[in-house]
Every structure is written in structure tokens, then in C-alpha cells.
Amino acid sequence: MKILLVCETFSSLETLKEALEGDGHLVVRLKISSEALRMDIQNPFDLVILDLKSTESEMQELIKSIRGLTDRPLMVLSLETAPSSVVLALESGADDYLRKPYDLAELKARLKTLDRRSGHPLDLSDTAMAIDGFTIHPIGRKVSGPKGQLHLTAKEFDLMLLLMMHPLKVYSREELLKTIWGYERFGELRTVDVHIRRLREKIEENASKPRYILTRRGEGYYFSG
């Protein structure tokens, strides 16, 4: 896997870089700079890690800048532990958020679930599915709907695919967290809610009154089918 580490200082990620390279990954480091991001991030990286010491507003701008250039999986590492910071990062476009200091084994496990080429949590086939005006191509990772071609992040696509594969099946937040993100830390359940909200904003005519991805109160989420 080719990983891009975006950071403020190279020294802050030296240990992580060595650990990932020890696992056989190709790691490229890049200092935070809008011009550098425009030049380098469109290289064929499999995954982006953003290491932050910035304020919430700066974090939001950086994530949105990266999201404007690539839909590759994006993990944020930050010292900020407030739930509001986690939600802001996810709402801005991050696929996952890990608080520092972190356990290296946990970080590697999360990276594996973010890597599109690794063992996918869903059974994929080349067969496109068409349901309720949406067409999704699992292998090509493309989806179109009433609004036309949709540009989804890695986890948004995985959520859409899972829900479309099983229309009307209700998935609890715990089930979605385990299936899509690969872990069961229930304190992270807000991750699911934020991604569902982002997905609704992209596919629904009115995200506050969804037609396709619905909530069954007290149980979870499902695709209307």
C-alpha cells in the first residue's frame, strides 16, 4: 500500500513511518501546504493520513482541501479529544479519526479497514445493482442516482453498498461500526451517525426528510428499497 503522511513536522511521524515501512508499505511524507497538496496528493496514493496540531477551524479547512483533491481514504490523527473535534473532522470529510497518543496496533488495524484493496468487509461481485433509481458498481466503486454520478468517500460508498445489498434490513449503529469500520468501540458510534448524515446530504433531495436511507427509531438505519 502507498501511504501519504501529511504533517506539520516530519519528526512527529518518524516512528509511524518506520513502522509502516517495516510492514512493507511505501510511505511518502508531505508537510502541510496547500501548494504541495495540489501537486502531490493526486499521485496514486492508496490512503492519506493527516497528523494535526491545528485548531478546529484549520483542521476543517485542511480536510476539505484534501477532499477537494481526492476521495481516497483519509484518517486524521489529533491530540484533540473533544467529541466536537471528532464530529467536525468526520463532517468535513475524514473517514476515521484516531486520538493521540494512539496504540500502533490499533492504528494499523484501522488502516487495514480503510484500504480498499485489503479484505473487504462485504462480498463483492462485478454485478451492478439497480435499486430505487440508484445503480452501484461494487468493484468499480461507482454509484449513480437521481442526482447523477455520486462522489462518495471510501466509507460513504461502503455504507451505501451494504445498505443497498440488503434493502429494508435494519442495521444497528453497532453492526455498521463493526462491519464497515472493523471495530466495536461503542464510544465511536457517532462516526456512523456522521457518515449517514453526509451520505444523505449527497443522495437525498432533502436530507432532513430522507426518502432512501431511513431511520427506525431505537433500532438503526436501512435502505428503503
Which among 25, 39, 29 is positioned nearest to 8, based on CA atoms?
29
Which among 174, 194, 171, 172 is positioned nearest to 186, based on CA atoms?
174
pLDDT value at 41 more than 60: no
Taking all residues of the chain, what is their mean pLDDT, rounded to a whole number? 85
Q: How far apart are the first and last CA of the chain?
A: 36
Spatial separation of the C-alpha atoms in residues 60 and 163, rounded to whole Å: 28
pLDDT value at 216 more than 80: yes
Which among 28, 132, 104 is positioned nearest to 72, based on CA atoms?
28
pLDDT value at 119 more than 50: no
pLDDT value at 62 more than 60: yes
One-letter amino acid of 38: R
The β-bridge partners of 76 are 50, 97
Which among 140, 151, 137, 161 is positioned nearest to 223, based on CA atoms?
161
Q: Which numeric CATH code is attached to 2-114?
A: 3.40.50.2300
Give the CATH fold of the 129-223 domain. Arc Repressor Mutant, subunit A (1.10.10)
* pLDDT (0 to 100) of residue 117: 52
What would the mean pLDDT of 14-34 be, rounded to a whole number?
Answer: 86
Helix (H, G, I), strand (E, B) or coil at 138: coil
* pLDDT (0 to 100) of residue 22: 94
Which among 93, 95, 28 is positioned nearest to 65, based on CA atoms?
93
Spatial separation of the C-alpha atoms in residues 193 and 174, rounded to whole Å: 11
pLDDT tens, position by position, 161-209: 999 999 999 999 999 998 888 776 656 788 899 999 999 999 999 999 9
Q: Within the chain, which residue ranges are assigned CATH 3.40.50.2300?
A: 2-114
Q: Whose grid coordinates read 479519526? A: 97
pLDDT value at 54 more than 70: no
Which residues have C-beta within 8 Å of that of residue 188, sequence separation ≥ 6?
A: 177, 181
